[in-house]
């Protein structure tokens, strides 16, 4: 049997694509290895959200390319968002790559493998802008044995935020058919998964493109919730102004849907938000967050923020710090602005923020994130919470099980037995910045 190694970078969407690619390859006689040196086929699934992630991919394949000098039969594939964007150009930069596979054509992988094994070089990067649901149904997804299954419900994005490359690497927004999503959920549950996360750049617009039916995220949640068995349902990412009251009510009503919203705010300044082409201002975001807190008991709200967007003043940056605190954001992903090819903001060179100021702001953003996270964790001290165990490890001589609460807080519990995949009740006995400590009850 031939061996394949896939290095996955970037978001959950890429992780889900890698699982699908592994599934197709296993039908084709390949088995996965976690040791790149043992692989006959090396693949990198790339992310282009920031320059740093793109650079990481090129440095990795540089190393792999050198291995080819002594192993003539080794094949290298370059996939994902950077592939989609650069297509043929990849061969110019790295002539040892055998195939380039963009995000729109992952289901052509088996055909590609056949061609490269005959010595051809292949580039499959055209935009299709349709879902390939019928192809998805033909093979089993090869999920890393774990607790959480990630299932895409929409692909692409129509928002064109001025900093973001995703609409260029993933194409226009399109919803996958409910039947195929339900089938994938059922398959995951059958193989023992205990949590399903419905994925999309903007999950609240699920179904808007269906011409033959009126079917929204709330409907999908109801249908997934009605599947028998004990499991959890999450959905990410939410766009603030697309979250409807109906959706919030559905989250409260449905027992399996977790009290957790990931709603990137990006900036706390209305001026910056406008320049980012986000369709809300500071006050609107705050109102929505407050509404969710009022309606959903025990909810946590996490966010993404960018430091040093072109033209951002010190005062506007401080508005981000104050917004995080005022809203009581439970956790944030943070990043320094990175100009991306094709995007609108990348052309505003005269407004770029000096690198040292940008990274100094990022450090302050991270400090504020730590504070907010600690304050959020304090709310749970002494509470009893349901934890779904995801991991068992020996930490500094002590056995610890780790899992997450319904509202996505990480809990460490000292325990000698591996309870991965079990739902337990834990009393929160201590707090750290990034996690809670608990005891089984």
Minimum gap (Å) between residue 234 Cβ and ligand SF4:
18
User: Which lies closer to ligand SF4 via its Cβ, residue 167 or residue 403?
Assistant: 167
Q: Are strands 30-32 and 2-8 parallel, antiparallel or unpaired?
A: parallel
Contact between 333 and ligand SF4 by CB under 6 A: the answer reads no
What does 306 interact with, of ligand SAH, ligand F3S, ligand SF4, none (CB < 5 to 8 A by kind)?
Answer: ligand SAH
Residue 332 forms beta bridges with which residues? 303
Angle between helices 282-295 and 245-253 (to 10 degrees): 30
What does 160 interact with, of ligand F3S, ligand SF4, ligand SAH, none (CB < 5 to 8 A by kind)?
Answer: ligand SF4
CA 301 to CA 328: how far, in whole Å?
8
User: Which lies closer to ligand F3S via its Cβ, residue 174 or residue 406?
Assistant: 174
CA 158 to CA 384: how far, in whole Å?
41
User: Which lies closer to ligand F3S via its Cβ, residue 288 or residue 306?
Assistant: 306
Residues 195 to 214: which contact ligand SF4 by CB under 6 A?
Answer: 201-202
CB atoms near residue 365 (< 10 Å):
22
Contact between 49 and ligand F3S by CB under 6 A: the answer reads yes
Instruction: Extract the tokens encoding 439.
Output: 């005891």
Residue 233: cis peptide before it, omega within 30 degrees of 0: no
Q: DSSP labels for 258-276? A: -SEEE---B-S-HHHHHHT
- Residue 257: DSSP 8-state: B
Q: Are strands 410-414 and 384-395 parallel, antiparallel or unpaired?
A: unpaired
Contact between 53 and ligand SF4 by CB under 6 A: the answer reads no
User: Which lies closer to ligand SF4 via its Cβ, residue 23 or residue 240?
Assistant: 240
Contact window for ligand F3S (CB under 6 A) among 11-19, 31-39, 137-145, 319-327: 11-19
For residues 126 and 113, is the Cβ–Cβ distance under 8 A? no
User: Which lies closer to ligand F3S via its Cβ, residue 55 or residue 120?
Assistant: 55
Residues 232 to 261: which contact ligand SF4 by CB under 6 A?
Answer: 239
CA 85 to CA 155: how far, in whole Å?
16
Minimum gap (Å) between residue 264 Cβ and ligand F3S:
12
**Could you give phi then psi for residue 250, rounded to 5 degrees?**
-65, -40
Contact between 169 and ligand F3S by CB under 6 A: the answer reads yes
Q: Are strands 398-405 and 384-395 parallel, antiparallel or unpaired?
A: antiparallel
Q: Are strands 331-336 and 300-307 parallel, antiparallel or unpaired?
A: parallel
Residues that bind ligand SAH (CB under 6 A): 49-50, 163-164, 166, 201-202, 237, 239, 264, 266, 304, 306, 335, 337-338, 340
Minimum gap (Å) between residue 93 Cβ and ligand F3S:
18
Binding mask 136-175 for ligand SF4 (x = CB under 6 A): ---------------------x-xxx--x-xx--------
Binding mask 60-89 for ligand F3S (x = CB under 6 A): --------------------xx--------
Minimum gap (Å) between residue 47 Cβ and ligand F3S:
3
User: Which lies closer to ligand SAH via its Cβ, residue 239 or residue 317?
Assistant: 239
User: Which lies closer to ligand F3S via its Cβ, residue 47 or residue 141?
Assistant: 47
Coil/strand/helix, residue 111: helix
Residue 431 forms beta bridges with which residues? 436
Contact between 166 and ligand F3S by CB under 6 A: the answer reads yes
Instruction: Extract the tokens encoding 11.
Output: 């978001």
Q: Please report, for residues 42, 45, 48, 161, the alpha-carbon distance to residue 83 in angstroms, rounded to integers and kept in the order given.
A: 15, 9, 9, 21
229: left (phi over 0), alpha (psi -120 to 50) or beta: left
Interacting residues toward ligand F3S by CB under 6 A: 10-11, 13-14, 47-49, 80-81, 165-166, 169-170
Interacting residues toward ligand SF4 by CB under 6 A: 157, 159-161, 164, 166-167, 201-202, 239
């Amino acid at each position: 049997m031939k061996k394949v190694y896939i290095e996955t970078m970037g978001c959950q969407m890429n992780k889900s694509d890698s699982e699908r690619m592994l599934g197709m390859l296993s039908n084709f006689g390949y088995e996965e290895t976690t040791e790149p040196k043992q692989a006959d086929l090396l693949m990198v699934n790339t992310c282009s959200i920031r320059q740093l992630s793109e650079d990481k991919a090129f440095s990795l394949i540089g190393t792999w390319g050198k291995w080819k000098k002594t192993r003539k039969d080794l094949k290298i594939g370059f996939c994902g968002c950077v592939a989609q964007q650069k297509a043929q150009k990849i061969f110019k930069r790295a002539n040892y790559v055998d195939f380039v596979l963009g995000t729109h054509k992952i289901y052509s992988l088996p055909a590609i493998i056949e061609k490269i094994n005959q010595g051809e070089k292949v580039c499959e990067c055209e935009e299709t802008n349709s879902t390939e649901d019928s192809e998805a149904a033909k093979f089993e997804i090869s999920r890393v044995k774990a607790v959480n299954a990630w299932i895409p419900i929409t692909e692409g994005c129509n928002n064109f935020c001025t900093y973001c490359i995703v609409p260029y690497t993933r194409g226009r927004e399109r919803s996958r058919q409910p039947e195929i999503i339900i089938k994938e959920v059922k398959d995951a549950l059958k193989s023992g998964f205990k949590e399903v996360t419905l994925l999309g750049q903007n999950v609240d617009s699920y179904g808007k493109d269906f011409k033959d039916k009126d079917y929204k995220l709330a409907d999908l949640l109801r249908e997934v919730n009605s599947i028998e068995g004990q499991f959890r349902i999450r959905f990410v990412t939410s766009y603030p102004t697309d979250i409807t009251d109906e959706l919030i009510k559905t989250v409260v009503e449905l027992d399996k849907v977790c009290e957790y919203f990931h709603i990137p705010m990006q900036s706390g300044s209305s001026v910056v938000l406008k320049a980012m082409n986000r369709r809300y201002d500071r006050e609107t975001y705050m109102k929505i967050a407050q509404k969710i807190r009022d309606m959903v008991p025990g909810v946590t709200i996490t966010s993404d923020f960018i430091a040093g967007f072109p033209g951002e003043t010190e005062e506007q940056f401080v508005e981000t710090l104050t917004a995080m605190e005022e809203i009581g954001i439970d956790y944030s992903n943070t990043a320094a602005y990175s100009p991306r090819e094709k995007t609108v903001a990348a052309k505003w060179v005269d407004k770029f923020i000096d690198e040292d100021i940008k990274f100094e702001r990022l450090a302050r953003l991270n400090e504020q994130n730590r504070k907010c996270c600690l304050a959020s964790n304090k709310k749970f001290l002494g509470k009893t919470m349901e934890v779904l165990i995801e991991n068992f490890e020996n930490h500094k001589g002590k056995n610890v099980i780790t899992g997450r609460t319904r509202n996505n807080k990480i809990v460490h519990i000292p325990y000698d037995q591996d309870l991965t995949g079990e739902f337990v009740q834990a009393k929160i006995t201590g707090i750290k910045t990034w996690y809670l400590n608990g005891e089984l009850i």
